[in-house]
Structure 1
């Protein structure tokens, strides 16, 4: 079996509501869909996500294609070595990881289809029968925020997630509204995207945790230097979650060893391959961390590979991140379960286990080509 062809489709799929935070103002998801076809006719699908620019990831994938063509897809370690070391992509690790994470996903899809097994079985089997996801609250107004909360309660969500870090007075009213609507027992998680100072973080986390019971605060202060998070973790009553700063293996390991929080919010894109991600998950579990699956904004393929990984790692928490509930559409033939509910059970079909709708891929590829990508900063510039 050889890799015969690699097709790349940049796509743009809109959100129902604009994603707003201290860092982003984004109207949809722009990712690169990857189709790897083997000489045996097996097709592996992947999705490469982005941070700042999908076009940069597309060019990176185009540069990686010649290294993989006519090679054995099962030579996973060889592909990784050729990309990162021989082709020197280790010098641009964050960009390389975001791009190669999509290729690696497509390769694992091939492995699953070739063996007739879902990916989670190839990774050792499931440690849980279902995975729980959060309800993503979107900035609008207080009335609509309460409606979103009630919608989540009605659908059975236990974890509610809110991006903050722009206006603490408004945000306190928002948190108050959330707690009042969802009741005393469900979890509230906050994400500031590193927008607070240490004094501000100490004050607000302790105050809001006492008044509204906060499950964890994600990325409250700058991750560099790491001493800031270590200092803050000793001064606050709520758990802390690290998201930024996990973009290279050595940084990931430094953060794990620091014990500057309780949760790591990340995905396999952070380190480029599924295997590396599993290694780091086991190391973090040994040192007492929980893992929450991260999303940059994702389509169904990325959501599905995340589901496989959360089924198998030992330290997966509840309330994983997702954007499925806020997507106008997807590039799959059927909606994934977490489009309108909090829990997703085992995926039993071979490989990634979801079916790509190639007509939709072409439709949203045309949207990308005609209208451009959804930039993370909207029309700010």
Structure 2
């Protein structure tokens, strides 16, 4: 069974906030993604998703290298994931952002294999290690009142871990964390994510001491992605565990972080890793090295969120609450299913492949190529 062709459908779906979602990286009012459909010569197909918050977006990546990758993998054995990666890397080896496109293609192939073999994708990743994963809800920037409103909404839905985005106003950020802790006490876990906003390690260390006093469980990517010396300094001196995100895309980055000793925890993305196989490899490296591992979200629509969910079930270890709820950051979705979430946990999807089906009416509504 061989790959015949790849079909791409660019999508633009509004975020679920009524206004722009803000982090230290900027503001976003919609998600730019692409649905991937990999067709097999005999008529079988699988679906995946290209998700990226970076410059090109999902649709831009498809325009950029979609046809080249489609041409390169045509004729490959559907079941040979290793050959798929080698071929894609040879065709487009000069663009790290293209990992997100490769991930969407690999996702669709895994979905197809799962459907053909009547098994969920987590079985193809080594099997199910858990039935559910604790989830973390990201809280966008805004006033203290706006952040408390976001948390109140999801606290009422059973969420008990929240990640506050920080990095543009030191005093306002600390005030927000303090007010959240005051309002909810020890009933919630608090993470913070600076999205590379800071440049001075000693400044961040001072901040981390105040966050430690407020019971924050991790400080994510406070410095630039290649500031290894600063990150190592923080890991050695901060009482709040240092989590990296933008510093770790692929397994080579993970190995460099382990050898360099500049991360307590890695927050890994299926899209940025270049796919499920490589994200699972990073999870294995973390497990072997005794480094914490958790999973982040671009965020993805339902197809990509389903893939992330399968990684969550298959990973050897989960060290902190994960963002396996990417599709809930949007006002609408392109799948028919409601992905199971209850009492602060994301549950496994046990149907064949990714376990989701496409709502083609919604695809027609949000596609941007017509």
TM-score by length of 1: 0.90
Distance change in 2, residues 1:218/1:309 (3 Å): same
- Once the two structures are superposed, the pairs formed by residues 21-60 of structure 1 within 5 Å of their partners are 21-50=23-52, 51-54=54-57, 55-59=59-63, 60=65
| TM-align CA RMSD | 1.8
String of CA shifts for 1:283-308, please: whole Å, max 9, x gaps.
Answer: 11111112221212211111111111
The aligned counterpart of 2:9 is 9
Alignment partner of 1:110 out of 106, 109, 112: 112
Residue 184 of structure 1 deviates from its aligned partner by 2.0
String of CA shifts for 1:296-348, please: whole Å, max 9, x gaps.
Answer: 2211111111111111111223421243332100110123234x863222211
What SS does the corresponding residue of 2:186 show, helix, strand or coil?
coil
Of structures 1 and 2, the one scoring higher in RCO (CA 8 A, sep 6+) is 1
What SS does the corresponding residue of 1:215 show, helix, strand or coil?
strand
Query: 1:7·1:35 contact (CA, 8 Å) conserved in 2?
Result: yes
CA distance in 2, matches of 1:81, 1:302: 22
CA distance in 2, matches of 1:273, 1:336: 20
The aligned counterpart of 2:21 is 19
Query: 1:289·1:315 contact (CA, 8 Å) conserved in 2?
Result: no
Check if 1:181 corresponds to 2:183: yes
Query: 1:34·1:106 contact (CA, 8 Å) conserved in 2?
Result: yes
Check if 1:312 corresponds to 2:294: no
CA distance in 2, matches of 1:254, 1:155: 39
The aligned counterpart of 1:129 is 131
Alignment partner of 2:204 out of 201, 215, 227: 201
Residue 38 of structure 1 deviates from its aligned partner by 1.7
Query: 1:150·1:181 contact (CA, 8 Å) conserved in 2?
Result: no
What SS does the corresponding residue of 1:292 show, helix, strand or coil?
strand
String of CA shifts for 1:229-264, please: whole Å, max 9, x gaps.
Answer: 001112211111001121343222101222322210
* Runs of 4+ in structure 1 over 6 Å off: none
Unaligned stretches of 5+ in structure 2? none
String of CA shifts for 1:158-208, please: whole Å, max 9, x gaps.
Answer: 211111100011112211221122222421110111112212201111012
The aligned counterpart of 1:84 is 89
* Structure 1 range deviating more: 47-56 or 326-335: 47-56
CA distance in 2, matches of 1:160, 1:267: 18
CA distance in 2, matches of 1:248, 1:304: 20
The aligned counterpart of 2:345 is 343
Alignment partner of 2:334 out of 331, 334, 338: 331
CA distance in 2, matches of 1:63, 1:117: 30
The aligned counterpart of 1:357 is 359
CA distance in 1, matches of 2:196, 2:298: 16
What SS does the corresponding residue of 1:183 show, helix, strand or coil?
helix
Query: 2:334·2:363 contact (CA, 8 Å) conserved in 1?
Result: yes
String of CA shifts for 1:205-235, please: whole Å, max 9, x gaps.
Answer: 101211x111100001123231110011122
- Pairs aligned (count): 363
CA distance in 1, matches of 2:170, 2:295: 26
What SS does the corresponding residue of 1:35 show, helix, strand or coil?
strand
- Once the two structures are superposed, the pairs formed by residues 237-256 of structure 1 within 5 Å of their partners are 237-256=239-258
Distance change in 2, residues 1:129/1:249 (3 Å): closer
Distance change in 2, residues 1:15/1:341 (3 Å): farther
Query: 2:114·2:354 contact (CA, 8 Å) conserved in 1?
Result: yes
TM-score by length of 2: 0.93
* Structure 1 range deviating more: 101-110 or 340-349: 340-349
CA distance in 2, matches of 1:271, 1:294: 11
